[in-house]
Amino acid sequence: MNPRSEIERLKEYYINIKRIGDEFKDDLEFIDQFIQNLDLNKNAKVLDIGTGFGIMAILLGLHGYNILTGEPEVKPERESWSTHNHENHGEHHEHFTFDWRDIAKEFKVEDKIIFQYLNAEKLDFPNSFFDGIFMYDTFQHIQNKDRAIEECVRILRPYRSIYIIETNENGIKFYQDNYGFLIKLVDPRHFIKDLDLSIELEVGRYMNGYILSKF
């Protein structure tokens, strides 16, 4: 398997799934480049918070990482897409569902991804456990964002980083004007309080990447 060719194929695959234009490829290329720029050992313990379509977990897998991914267990009243919390967002598709595990199998990274239910505001892991924590299109949906950042810092090893990718103002306007997606603007830097973190910002066309590094 050629990782680069598989990553390019994955981008086209997700564009077809989400049924939106090539601009979504810009998002995937931003995430892909973001991962390529990481100073993170391939043997690192990696957590992906907010599995969603599996985009982050599968891309990380194609880059050679082993990933633990998870999200809250769906409540009975929210089992259908029509009642999903991402209403009018990218995860809302009328009469269309799929399982991210099938995509992981298609791209032969299913053995690199472990799933478990988790709550970002109360992470059931020991202190200083992970080498890298990722959130893609997740942070905006967390109710207690301050608490989630605190929990991520707690379970992160010193001199390691939290990587958060969210839609920026340009992306929010574009997706609302063209597709009617209602996406919340959120900046993780507003929720770190007095935590001992350094912050880096990477700005993309429609997405921003925030790197919060623990001392």
Strand ranges (DSSP E) for 11-139?
Answer: 46-49, 67-70, 113-115, 130-136
Q: How many other CB atoms sit within 10 Å of the CB of residue 120?
A: 24
Domain limits for position 142 = 3-214
Lowest mean pLDDT among 5-19, 121-135, 177-191: 5-19
**Domain at 138, CATH number:** 3.40.50.150
| pLDDT (tens digit per residue) in 54-77 | 999 999 999 999 999 999 987 433
Domain total in the chain: 1
Is pLDDT above 90 for 204? Answer: yes
